[in-house]
A = this chain, B = another copy of it.
């Protein structure tokens, strides 16, 4: 089983990156959604939407990686690799945007807490922060896989 370019679609490094993205996205979603009324803030709704897009995308590509590693590597086609790379880039930009929005809204909820006690209480604030941090980590891994796929693209 050759590993021609670590991180590109169909390698074990890519599988690790995809699983990491899915795990961080699920964690971010759980921190944000579980017993919190997140839908009163636009940014948090955006974060939940984007994480809900990243999870199926990462899991689908993780399945492709598992198939490539354990069964048989399908031949790499330029069209498929282009679609995967463009999808990765778009989701990477969107998850960066979602993570930054959630982080800045959390920051403003915390700093304006002294003037309006209803905005954010201690335990909820920490969960918002953790959710934004997980989305940021998911973005880092998403950027890594999109860079690897982009690097492979000219050699096809």
- Minimum distance in angstroms from A148 CB to a CB of chain B: 14
Q: For residue A43, which residue of chain B has the nearest CB?
A: B104
Name the segment of A4-12, A24-32, A111-119 touching the other chain: A111-119
Please, which residue of chain B has its CB at the minimum distance from the CB of A118?
B115
A97 close to B (CB within 8 Å): yes
Q: Select one of B101, B102, B119 contacting A112, CB under 8 A.
A: B119
**Which residues from B are CB-within-8-Å of A42?**
104, 107-108, 111
Interface size of A as a range: 20 to 34
Main secondary structure of the interface of A (DSSP, over half): helix
What's the minimum C-beta distance from A104 to chain B, rounded to whole angstroms? 4
Q: Which residues of B contact A141 (CB under 8 A)?
A: none
Residues of A within 8 A of B (CB): 41-43, 46, 93, 96-98, 100-105, 107-109, 111-112, 115-116, 118-119, 150, 154
Residue among A100, A103, A111, A150 with the highest chain B CB neighbour number at 10 A = A100
| Highest count of chain B CB atoms <10 Å: which of A100, A104, A108 | A104
Q: Which of B96, B107, B111, B116 lies in contact with A93, CB distance below 8 A?
A: B96
